[in-house]
């Protein structure tokens, strides 16, 4: 009994929105409910306080310590890594008088990047993208809340791309220490967008590798799987960055009193960077489609070459088969069969026909 054929494993396509938290459907608006594609991590807190002359870096153990350390005369950067402690987020929201819808948006990590003006504070939701060790892209939501003297950053898990900002604060170089919370929020957004360029460079290098081997790749399945992975990364990258651009545009045109006037040219520059990222993504998508077409064309050409060789071989053997078929018939009266020279003449005729056809094909440059 023959073994049943094994079906090939299907490529898994991740849904755009999914949740590990049941019970979110039909909940009351403003309900603090975690929604995300992975289990929430335990919250860890950090606090950076600075002005033009002084700066301090503190790692509090609890949200109560964070709130007790806040000072009015300094810029307070409160960073929360992890969304498992919803009570801590509620206490943080109560202290800064955050709307319940804000806490709900922070806990919904599948939110579209956006900006909302609540008067006494601004809520900016964006996406931070990092490359994992297994050459996949991790999408993490970052919520930035801007108040009159503080910036709250709430992330899904530890690890971010904000170290350049922390180093600039520590060294005191540049404008960061001379401006208020809105400039700190801009610096964080600028680092996030700048990090997109490093991912674009990595994706561009992958596309260059595929482009270099598109006309000579022999492993069709492996080539197509790898190229489709890159195209899927580009498509999701585009879906993520497009609303980020809209968010930056809305922030640049906001008339909120929380945004300093000196910030306007910097926000325009940030907008230009976001547009440049989108243009690069569109260019890479076109490049990926072109590589796909070149590969399919090369596969088709190789198949045509194989078929041409087989056709030439078949054409050469058609007259030989005819001669062999004629003299292979079992008729009693075939005068050539009784002649001693019949066998070598038949061979000579078939060889001559074959050589003549090969010479003819060569002159036509058919192979």
4: in domain: no
Domain check: are 352 and 253 in the same one? no
Domain check: are 86 and 232 in the same one? yes
Whether residue 70 contacts residue 113, with contact meaning beta carbons closer than 8 Å, is answered with: no
Which residue range(s) make up the domain with 336?
301-363
6: in domain: no
What pLDDT does 7 receive?
45
Domain check: are 156 and 289 in the same one? yes
What pLDDT does 4 receive?
44
On the question of pLDDT at 15 being above 70, the answer is no
Number of domain units in the chain:
2
A 10 A CB-CB count for 172 gives 14
Domain check: are 305 and 293 in the same one? no
Compute the distance between CA of residue 196 and CA of residue 322 in angstroms, rounded to an integer: 69
Q: What is the CATH number of the domain that holds 241?
A: 3.30.460.20
353: in domain: yes
Whole-number percent of the chain with pLDDT over 90:
47
Q: What number of CA atoms fall less than 13 Å from residue 268's CA on the CB side? A: 4
- Final residue of a structural domain among 276, 297, 318: 297
Domain check: are 269 and 339 in the same one? no
Residue 308 confidence class, pLDDT cut points 50, 70, 90: confident
Q: Taking the CA atoms of 174, 175, 180 and 185 in sequence, report the sign of the dihedral they define.
A: negative
315: in domain: yes
Domain check: are 317 and 280 in the same one? no
pLDDT digits (tens, 9 = 90+) for 35-63: 888 888 899 999 999 998 899 999 999 99
- Final residue of a structural domain among 259, 279, 297: 297
Domain check: are 355 and 234 in the same one? no
> What are the φ/ψ torsions at residue 85 (nearest 5 degrees)?
-90, 85
On the question of pLDDT at 115 being above 90, the answer is yes
E strands, the chain, in order: 44-50, 55-58, 75-81, 114-117, 122-131, 137-146, 150-155
Residue 17 confidence class, pLDDT cut points 50, 70, 90: very low
pLDDT digits (tens, 9 = 90+) for 176-185: 888 999 999 9
- Final residue of a structural domain among 297, 328, 348: 297
Query: pLDDT: is 23 or 241 the higher one?
Result: 241
1: in domain: no
291: in domain: yes
Whether residue 138 contacts residue 202, with contact meaning beta carbons closer than 8 Å, is answered with: no
Distances in whole angstroms, Cα of residue 27 to Cα of each of 18, 23, 30, 124: 16, 8, 9, 23
Domain check: are 229 and 324 in the same one? no
130: in domain: yes
Distances in whole angstroms, Cα of residue 113 to Cα of each of 21, 44, 229, 364: 21, 23, 24, 63
19: in domain: no
A 10 A CB-CB count for 13 gives 8
Compute the distance between CA of residue 107 and CA of residue 210 in angstroms, rounded to an integer: 39
On the question of pLDDT at 278 being above 90, the answer is yes
* Average model confidence (pLDDT) across the chain: 86
What pLDDT does 347 receive?
86
Domain check: are 308 and 205 in the same one? no
pLDDT digits (tens, 9 = 90+) for 125-143: 999 998 888 888 999 999 9
Q: What is the CATH number of the domain that holds 314?
A: 1.20.58.340
Q: Which of 90-94, 254-258, 297-301, 327-331 has the lowest mean pLDDT?
A: 327-331
- The pTM for the full model equals 0.78
Q: Taking the CA atoms of 60, 64, 69 and 74 in sequence, report the sign of the dihedral they define.
A: positive
């Amino acid at each position: 009994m023959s073994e049943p054929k094994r079906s090939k494993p299907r490529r898994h396509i991740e849904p755009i929105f999914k949740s590990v938290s049941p019970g979110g459907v039909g909940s009351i608006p403003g309900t603090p409910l975690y929604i995300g594609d992975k289990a929430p991590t335990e919250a860890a807190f950090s606090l950076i306080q600075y002005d033009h002359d002084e700066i301090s870096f503190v790692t509090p153990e609890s949200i109560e310590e964070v709130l007790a350390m806040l000072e009015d005369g300094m810029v307070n950067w409160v960073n929360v890594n992890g969304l498992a402690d919803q009570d801590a987020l509620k206490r943080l929201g109560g202290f800064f008088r955050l709307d319940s819808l804000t806490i709900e948006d922070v806990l919904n990590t599948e939110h579209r990047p956006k900006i909302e003006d609540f008067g006494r504070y601004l809520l900016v939701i964006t996406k931070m993208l990092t490359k994992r060790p297994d050459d996949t892209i991790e999408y993490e939501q970052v919520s930035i809340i801007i108040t009159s003297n503080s910036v709250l950053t709430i992330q899904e898990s530890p690890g971010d791309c904000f170290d350049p900002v922390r180093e600039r604060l520590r060294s005191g170089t540049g404008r960061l220490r001379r401006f208020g919370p809105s400039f700190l929020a801009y610096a964080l957004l600028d680092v996030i967008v700048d990090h997109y360029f490093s991912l674009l460079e990595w994706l561009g290098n992958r596309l260059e590798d595929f482009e270099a081997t598109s006309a000579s790749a022999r492993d069709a399945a492996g080539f197509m799987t790898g190229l489709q992975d890159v195209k899927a990364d580009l498509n999701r990258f585009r879906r993520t960055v497009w609303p980020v651009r809209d968010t930056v545009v809305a922030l640049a045109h906001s008339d909120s009193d929380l945004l300093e006037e000196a910030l306007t040219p910097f926000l325009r520059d940030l907008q230009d960077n976001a547009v440049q990222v989108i243009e690069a993504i569109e260019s890479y998508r076109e490049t990926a489609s072109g590589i796909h077409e070149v590969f399919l064309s090369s596969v088709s050409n190789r198949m045509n070459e194989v078929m041409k060789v087989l056709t030439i071989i078949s054409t050469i053997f058609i007259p030989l088969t005819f001669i062999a078929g004629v003299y292979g018939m079992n008729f009693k009266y075939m005068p050539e069969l009784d002649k001693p020279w019949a066998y070598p003449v038949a061979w000579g005729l078939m060889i001559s026909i074959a050589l003549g056809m090969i010479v003819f094909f060569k002159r036509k440059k058919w192979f």
